[in-house]
Amino acid sequence: MAIKTFAAIDIGSFELEMGIYELAGKNQARCIDQLRHMIPLGRDAFSDEKISYTMVDEMCRVLKNFAEIMNSYHVDDYRAYATSAMREAKNNQIILDQIKVRTGLDVKLISNSEQRLLSYKAIAEKEADFNKMIQKATAIVEVSSGSMQMSLFDKDALVSTQNLGLGALRLYETLSGVQAAEETRLAILEEMVDNELFTFRKMYLKDRTIKNLIGTGKYIRHLAVWMSPDRDKSFISASTFMEFYKKLSSMGLDDIEDAFGVNKEYAALMLPSTLIYKRVMELTGAETFWIPGIQMCDGMAAEYGEEKNLAKFGHNFSDDIIATARNMAKRYKCHISHNQALEKYALAIFDSMKKFHGLGKRERLLLQIAVNLHSCGKFISMRDTSECAYNIIMSTEIIGLSHEEREVIANTVKYNLKPFQYEEARENMMLIAKLVAILRLANSMDRSHNQKLWDSKVQLKENELIVTTAYDGDITLERLAFEQKVDFFEEIYGVRPVLKQKRRV
C-alpha cells in the first residue's frame, strides 16, 4: 500500500501546532515532523470575546509558513481545525476568511465534542494500553487553556462526558488581578476548581469508584517528561504525582521556565493545569495516572487514517456516541424498552429505504440518537414535549457530534410530534424531513409501548414499504397510529408504508 503524507494543524487557545504524518495502512500514523508556535489567542477571546488584529496578523504569518512547509513535504492532504478560542471569538468568521485569503488554508471551526473525540482517537491508537485500562472505571481528563473535559469509561463503554469551564488560562486570567502570597493564590485556585468538581461528582460520579486517570492536554505532555523521562513508564502512581505537584508548587516562574524549556507565559499555566489534575485525582481516589503523551494533531491523523481505510481501531467510537445518548435517555426517564423497540424498527426502515433516501452511516447514527432522545422532553413538560426536547438536546453536548448535527437531531425530535414546518427547518431541511418520516413511522409501530410488533419484518416492494408482523393479538392502536403517519412518509419518499398482520390458521 502506498504511503500517504498528511498534515494536521491545530489552532488552539495558546499555540498553533502542525504535525506531518505518514500513513501506510498500519494502525498508527507516524509523526515525521512537528512545529509549534505559542500565541495566546484565548487571552483575547476569553476576556474581550474578540481576537485582536495584531494576533490575527501573527497567526496568518505563522500559518502561511506552515503551508509552505506542507508543500515542501508534498502532503497528499491536510486538515486545519480551530478550537475554543476561535469558537468564543465573536469575529471568528472574519478571521477564518482572513486565513483563507492570506494563507490559502481552509480552517474548520469544530465543536468541543468533536475536539474531545479526536483526543480519544489519539489515545485509542495506543490500543493495548487503552483497551486494558477502560475495562475498569477510568476517567479521561483533558485540561486545555479554555476548559477541561472529564469522561468516564467503564467496561469498555463511555458512561458520561462533561465539559467544565476550568481551563488553565481561564483560571490564570481570573487570578491575574489578585495581589496575594502564592500560598493564598493556590488556595483560591483550589476553591474555584472544587466548586465545579464537587457538582460534577454529585451529578455523575455518585457511588462510582474511579481506578484510573488518563491525562491529556498540552500542559501534561511537558509535565510527563519531568515526572517520567522513560516514555515506556508513562504510568504514574497517585503518590508519585502528589510528590511532583508539591515540588512544582514550590518552584518560581523562572525555575519552571528552565525545567520545562518553555517561555514565561506558558510556564505561568503549568501550575493551574497541574492543580486541576491533582484535585481530580484526590476527588476520585484514582490509584494510577496514565499520560499517553498525545496531542490533538495525533487524533486528526488517526481520524483521517480511519476515514481513508489507512487505520483501524479496536475501539468502536460510534458505540460511545450511542452510549452517551442512551445515558441521556436514562437521565431524563425515557421508556427504555420502548426506545429499544423504536431503534430496531427505525433502523430496519432506514436500511430498507437505502435507494430512496441516499443517506449513509453518519445519518443512520443521527437517527439512532434521535430515537433514543425522542421523548426526553416529557421530563420537563408533558404538554410541551417537543420544544422541551429540542432545548434539552441543544443544551447538552453529545460526544463526537458537531453543533450542526446536534441541531439535526433536535429538529428531528421536535417534529416527531409537531407538524413539519419546511420554512422553519430550512438548514438541512431534507435530511431532517427524511429522519422525521422514519422516526414517526417507527414510533407508530409501538404506540401501545408493549412491543407488539417486535417480530416485524420490513421489506421494500416497488413503491410500497411492507411491514409484516405475526403478532396474533390486537394491534388496533398501532394500526391507527401507523395510518396517521403514512401520508408524510409518502410525501417525503414517494413510497407508501403498508402494515400487514399475518393470521395464524
- Residue 357 resides in a domain: yes
Q: Report the residue count for the chain.
A: 505
Domain boundary (111, 138, 156) is at 111
Residues paired with 142 in a beta bridge: 149, 216
* 410 and 464 housed in the same domain: yes
296 touches 118 (CB < 8 A): yes
* Predicted TM-score of the model (pTM): 0.81
Q: Is the distance from CB of 221 to CB of 295 less than 8 angstroms?
A: yes
Count of H-run helices and E-run strands, the chain: 21, 14
Based on the domain organization, do 105 and 131 belong to the same domain?
Answer: no
Three-class secondary structure of residue 358 per DSSP = coil
- What is the Cα 406 distance to its own chain's centre? 11
Specify if 116 maps to a domain.
no
Instruction: Specify whether 22 is located in the same domain as 52.
Output: yes
56 and 147 housed in the same domain: no
106 bridge partner residues: none
Give yes or no: residues 159 and 231 share one domain.
Answer: yes
Distance CA 201, CA 150 (A): 11
Task: Examine the domain organization and report whether 13 and 95 are in the same domain.
Answer: yes
Could you give the strand order of the β-sheet that contains 288-290, starting from the edge strand earlier in sequence?
A: 157-164, 148-154, 138-143, 212-216, 288-290, 235-237
Q: Helix/strand/coil (H, E, C) string of 25-74? A: CCCCCEEEEEEEEECCHHHHHHHHCCCCHHHHHHHHHHHHHHHHHHHHCC
- Same domain, residue pair 371 and 429: yes
Cα gap 267→261, rounded to integer Å:
9
- Tell whether 119 is covered by a domain: no
CA 179/CA 113 separation, integer angstroms: 36
The per-residue DSSP string of 375-432 comes to: TGGGGT-SSSHHHHHHHHHHTS--TT--HHHHHHHHHHHHHHHSPP-TTTT-TTHHHH
DSSP 3-state assignment of 210?
coil
The predicted structure's pLDDT at residue 21 = 95
Total count of domains within the chain: 3
pLDDT along the chain (505 residues), means of 10: 88 92 79 91 84 94 97 96 91 96 96 86 75 81 86 80 83 76 82 85 78 85 64 74 88 86 82 90 88 87 87 78 90 94 97 95 96 95 92 90 92 93 77 96 96 95 93 94 96 96 71
Cell matching residue 165: 469551564
38, three cell numbers: 505559542
Instruction: Give pLDDT, residue 391.
Output: 96
Task: Report CA Rg, the chain.
Answer: 25
pLDDT recorded at residue 71: 96
- Can you tell me whether residue 449 is helix, strand or coil? coil
The whole-number pLDDT of residue 1 equals 55
Residues 92 and 27 in one domain: yes
| DSSP per residue, 317-352 | HHHHHHHHHHHHHHHTT--HHHHHHHHHHHHHHHHH
Q: What is the CATH number of the domain that holds 135?
A: 3.30.420.150
List phi, psi (to 5°) of 263.
Answer: -80, 175
Grid coordinates of 294: 498525545
Is the distance from CB of 294 to CB of 132 less than 8 angstroms?
no
- Give the residues across from 34 on adjacent strands: 19
CATH number at residue 443: 1.10.3210.10
The pLDDT assigned to 292 comes to 84
| Residue for grid cell 425515557 | 334
Could you say which of 235, 258, 293 is where a domain stops?
293
Task: Give the C-alpha separation, 33 to 18, whole Å.
Answer: 8
Q: Which three cell numbers stand for residue 19?
A: 504535525
Is 307 a member of any domain? Answer: no
Does 78 fall in a domain?
A: yes
Instruction: Provide the pLDDT for residue 194.
Output: 87
Boundary-marking domain end, from 56, 87, 111? 111
- Contacts of residue 89, Cβ cutoff 8 Å, sequence gap at least 6: 41, 44, 45, 49, 50, 51, 95
Question: From start to end of 15-146, where are the E strands?
Answer: 15-23, 30-38, 77-82, 107-109, 138-143
Q: Does residue 355 lie within any of the structural domains?
A: yes
Domain span at residue 360? 317-501
Residues 192, 335 within the same domain: no
Plot region of 333 (φ>0 → left; ψ -120 to 50 → alpha; else → beta): left
- Neighbour-count burial of 238, counting CB atoms closer than 10 A to its CB (0-12 exposed, 13-18 middle, 19+ buried): middle
Q: Is residue 304 part of a domain?
A: no
Residues 355 and 494 in one domain: yes
pLDDT at 152: 86
Domain identity same for 168 and 197: yes
Q: Dihedral angle at the C-alpha atoms of 298, 302, 304, 305, nearest 10 degrees?
A: 130
Conformational region of residue 249, where left means phi above 0, alpha means psi within -120 to 50, and beta covers everything else: alpha
Instruction: Mark whether 328 and 394 lie in a shared domain.
Output: yes
Hey, what's the cell of 453? 410488533
pLDDT confidence of residue 264: 83
